[in-house]
């Protein structure tokens, strides 16, 4: 078995974060449970070759699983943290479902992950850019996640 380079590991962690956001969105949108969605992603998305010849990225399976489990287990706490970071008139229930999924995945990693908060924030800002390449959402995500990180891990600031 070939050992992965640091760059390959980073790419796989980034892909796992993107997949986690997509999976959380799918769970909310379809009403499917975590087990069914996790299984679908692991079987049909991680490293899959699509019909048009595009290859899906391999992802860090352990990180993906952890993000999903932690986002589900800590959802109420994460949503409360997100609400405190948002403007009072815009509770998490009123924001775009993709952003809601992103905040839940990022919140799970901020609460239970081992990556430094600045890395987590940068990674999810990049995820936001992949969903909203033209918009202001990346700055919004950065501001909300900075607030959430300061609450989740004040010792890191």
The DSSP code for 2 is P
Q: Are 132 and 138 in contact (CB under 8 A)?
A: yes
User: In the CATH scheme, what architecture does the domain 6-156 have?
Assistant: Orthogonal Bundle (1.10)
Q: What percent of the chain has pLDDT over 70?
A: 92
**Average pLDDT over the chain, rounded to an integer:** 91
C-alpha angle 108-112-116 in degrees, rounded to nearest 5: 95
DSSP 155: G
Using CA atoms, how far apart are residues 97 and 102, in angstroms rounded to an integer? 9
* Band of residue 66 on the pLDDT scale cut at 50, 70, 90: very high
pTM for this predicted structure: 0.91
Please give the residue that has the higher pLDDT: either 54 or 130.
Answer: 130
4-13, 34-43, 90-99: which is most confident = 34-43
The pLDDT-based confidence of 142 (bands split at 50, 70, 90) is very high
Give the residue-averaged pLDDT of 144-153: 96
């Amino acid at each position: 078995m070939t050992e992965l380079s640091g760059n390959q590991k980073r790419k796989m962690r980034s892909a796992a974060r993107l997949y986690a956001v997509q999976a959380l969105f799918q769970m909310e949108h379809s009403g499917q449970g975590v087990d069914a969605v996790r299984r679908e992603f692991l079987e049909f998305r991680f490293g899959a070759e699509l019909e048009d010849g595009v290859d899906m990225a391999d992802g860090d399976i352990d990180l993906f699983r952890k993000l999903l489990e932690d986002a589900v287990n800590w959802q109420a706490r994460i949503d409360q943290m997100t609400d405190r970071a948002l403007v009072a008139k815009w509770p998490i229930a009123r924001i775009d479902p993709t952003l809601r999924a992103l905040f839940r995945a990022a919140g799970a990693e901020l609460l239970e992950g081992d990556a430094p908060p600045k890395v987590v924030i940068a990674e999810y800002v990049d995820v936001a850019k992949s969903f909203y390449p033209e918009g202001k959402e990346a700055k919004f995500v950065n501001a909300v996640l900075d607030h959430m990180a300061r609450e989740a891990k004040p010792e890191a600031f």
